[in-house]
Amino acid sequence: MSEDDKERTVELHYEGGVLKLPVFTGTEGERTIELKTLLGSTGMTTLDPGFGNTASCSSKITYIDGAAGILRYRGYPIEDLAVGATFLEVAYLVIYGELPESGQLKEFSDKLRENADIPADMGTLIDAMPRNGHPMSLLASAVNTLAAYYDDSVDPSDENQVELATIRLLAKLPTIAARIYRNSIGEKPIAPDDSLDYVENFIRMTFGDNAPTGNLGDLFNKAVGMLLVLHADHELNCSTATVRVVGSSQADIFASVASGVNALSGPSHGGANQAVLEMLEGIRDSGTSIEDFLERVKAREVRLMGFGHRVYKNFDPRSKEIKVLASQILDHDDNPDELFKLALKLEAAALADSYFTERKLYPNVDFYTGVIYRTMGFPNNMFTVLFALGRLPGWIAHYREQLHDPAFRIARPRQHYIGSAERRYPGQG
């Protein structure tokens, strides 16, 4: 807090008096009232369902201006990173705070290659999991067990252990995700290949000899890399907030990230990319018109998946980049992808309808990702796993940042109790 900040206050007038509360100003001028003294001074708490108005920490990682459609990692605009940076550069930036110099990037990338294998026992464990189970459920379970396989990197108070766990998570998640996918199609796992880069290796471990080669292969590598970059962090979203909450109890980073995977799986969060594709397929297969579908949305029978966002009340800047990518991959004059065409029409119809514009509902990051992943050959239930691979640097960065936050306390919200007043168990009074 700067001296300047200390002088800024707001006054809360309540029955018992007036409480002065400090106001902090963030890098971009956004202002936050600190409520630390509220309960002690007034006996009152605040009620903020969904934490829509609550900053639970100070953070230096990601800046979002939802009204202006701005997203920056460590100050760098997402538009620059999406076209100019590799996923590993962005992962390094998000976690360590600065873009890597070439030597640092090589060292980082070498460490990830060296650690990409998983223990044979862990492979057997993953192979024994239900093959038809949802990959997000299997991924969360597998990430949780990393703490058991690597109990030399579970101590949050030891920086070297946290660093080792960081490398292990980043290195092994693609290997685990690809193995889960191959099990689901009854194919043998493919070991990591340390001659390939991070994204290429993941695609190779997933599709093996069916991975596209030549120009198409290059295009797919670039597209997956860009999608991972676009997902790398998004400040205190549901899964990242979950990672912080779990980590605040001093739980290890594997347990915290596994919790993030679980939070991401829900259709209101990362699971929306799967839900969007199922919605598009449903519209196509049922023969419903777009107009009729939107009427059902407005009647609140269904949600328009991939639309709306807690923070963006204007275009999600990620969705703009993804739409461009989708049209590069799917919009061939001779044979445009039918679900992409449908998505374009659905978007246009929703944006021409006052129900959506009045509520500031625009396409979010998930609206076009599914159609891209589908055309690459990923099944619908793997889309959210790809999101998790992208979001991993963000989860790690927030976990680590929290460990060094001087204001850090265990996350323990209050409640507004509206249940029964005291009553006695029969026969006890």
DSSP state, residue 72: E
Measured between alpha carbons, how far is 260 from 239 in angstroms, rounded to an integer? 4
Annotation says 366 is catalytic: yes
Residue nearest to ligand ACO (CB): 308
Token pair listed for 160:
């070297």
Q: Which is nearer to ligand ACO, 8 or 298 (CB)?
A: 298
Given the rule CB under 6 A, which residues bind ligand ACO? 50, 237, 268-270, 272, 297, 303-310, 359, 361, 364-366
Complex with ligand ACO: residue 142 or 305, whichever CB lies closer: 305
What is the rounded radius of gyration, in angstroms, for the C-alpha atoms of the chain?
A: 23
* 248: its two tokens: 């605040």
CB of 347 to ligand ACO, least distance (A): 12
> Smallest Cα–Cα separation from 82: which of 222, 238, 196, 275?
222
Per-residue burial over 270-288, b if 16 or more Cβ lie within 10 Å, else e, is: bbbbbbbbebbbebeeeee
CB 75 within 8 A of CB 64: no
Give the Cα separation of 241 and 245 in Å (integer): 6
Beta bridge partner(s), residue 70:
65
> How is residue 29 written in tokens?
């001028």
Signed CA dihedral, 214, 232, 267, 345: sign only: negative
- Of the candidates 231, 309, 337, 398, the residue annotated as catalytic is 309
CA pair distance 311, 313, nearest whole angstrom: 6
Output the smallest distance, CB 293 to ligand ACO, in A.
11
Question: How far, in Å, CA of 227 to CA of 280, rounded?
Answer: 20
Contact 244, 250 (CB under 8 A): no
Which residue, 190 or 326, has its beta carbon nearer to ligand ACO? 326
Of residues 53 and 160, the one with the C-beta less far from ligand ACO: 53
Give me the least distance between CB of 229 and ligand ACO, in Å please. 15
Provide the minimum distance between the beta carbon of 50 and ligand ACO in the complex, in angstroms, as a whole number. 6
What does the alpha-carbon distance between residue 206 and residue 377 come to, in Å, rounded to a whole number? 10
Report how far Cα 257 is from the mean position of its chain's Cα atoms: 11
CB of 167 to ligand ACO, least distance (A): 26
Asked whether 384 and 140 are in contact (CB, 8 A), the reply is no
Chain Cα centroid distance, residue 54:
19
Q: Find the shortest distance in angstroms from Cβ 305 to ligand ACO.
A: 5
Nearest to 178, CA basis, from 164, 160, 192, 165: 192
Helices (H) and strands (E) in the chain, counts: 19, 6
Nearer to ligand ACO by Cβ, of 166 and 237: the residue is: 237
Instruction: Check if 309 is active-site.
Output: yes
Rounded Cα gap, residues 82 and 319, in angstroms: 12
Closer CB to ligand ACO, 156 or 270, in the complex: 270
Nearer to ligand ACO, 64 or 118 (CB): 64
DSSP-based three-state secondary structure for 48: coil
| Cβ-based nearer residue to ligand ACO, 54 or 250 | 54
CB of 384 to ligand ACO, least distance (A): 10
Q: Which residues are annotated as catalytic?
A: 309, 366
